Amino acid sequence: MTKTIVPKGYVSTLGNYETQTAIGFIKRCFEEALTGSLKLKRVSAPLFVARNSGLNDDLSGVERPVRFDIPALDGDEGEVVHSLAKWKRMALHDYDFRVGNGLYTDMNAIRRDEELDNLHSIYVDQWDWERVITAEQRTDTYLKETVKGLVNAIAETSSRLHTKYPDVNVTIDPRVSFVTSQELEDLYPTLTAKERENAYVKEHPTTFITQIGDVLNSGERHDGRAPDYDDWSLNGDLLFWHEPLQCAMELSSMGIRVDRDAMLRQLELANATDRLEYTFHKMIVDEKLPLTIGGGIGQSRMCMLLLGKAHIGEVQVSLWDEETRNACAGSIELL
């Protein structure tokens, strides 16, 4: 069975030329809405970090970062970022951001071990954002309020896109359904995690699944999460129903970040206490880094969702294997 799905009778609403203009429009509109909703300031971001810094995102713990030696630094190695989850928190400290304010940046990454399909590419582009909060704001209620603000920014962008391109008939439901990963398992005990997402999001087209990373009652995890940035009890994934592919599409992973106690607990559970030797982790233990909330929002994923595209290769330039190109030939135009 091919990993690439070509929906029966699929024809893109916009051609390649119009699509490029629409991508620029979406990005401008969303950045305006996002910064207004979450009070964020744009900053520049690194493409790579030092291998021994502890700042790279370990994702689910098995992905290999792209590494390279740097002769000018006496052979020290750099790593192309997977995301900026840890770097952003350090930047908020270094740039002296205060409570209620935050940053966002354009993040470009390479995930060499990604399995390619309609939604996944080895090239990742996203808006990475982070905001300083208080200890009293480390609550489920505050997380949900932030999610609603993010969804409103996406819905506003979709509405403005439809005004400019009336033939694009994608509608974003601003009403968010919140469900924990355990509640999802209880609802669909015989389904896999991805099957549970599809079943639930089909009925609730804008969904935020909370509490991802810890072990469920079944002994399995809903999905992997690094133990040293999200607090597994205060995080989640934002998903939308993607009509052309008839599946749930994850657009954002986000959460309230670990404080000292949450990080120590999660590092112990993940058998990763060796990371406490890194400067980043020491600063959390010593409570020198600000408490924050943050996440990433896929740029290509958002363009794909709002434009009703069937493949992420229609909205970004990447590398594709022969099987993918053959499956798309004649129906889907890859960039």
Q: Provide the annotated active-site residues.
A: 57, 111, 126, 237, 250, 253
- The DSSP symbol for 221 reads B
- Cα 290 to Cα 58, 175, 226, 301: the distances in Å are 21, 31, 19, 30
Number of residues in the chain: 335
Residues 6+ apart with CB under 8 A from 145: none
- Cα 219 to Cα 113, 180, 215, 233, 277: the distances in Å are 26, 16, 6, 17, 30
How far is it, in rounded angstroms, from Cα 165 to Cα 71? 50
Return the closest-CA partner of residue 186 out of 160, 202, 209. 209
How far is it, in rounded angstroms, from Cα 53 to Cα 279? 7
- Cα 114 to Cα 175, 296, 319: the distances in Å are 31, 17, 12
- Contact criterion met (CB below 8 Å) for 98 and 132: yes
- The DSSP symbol for 132 reads E
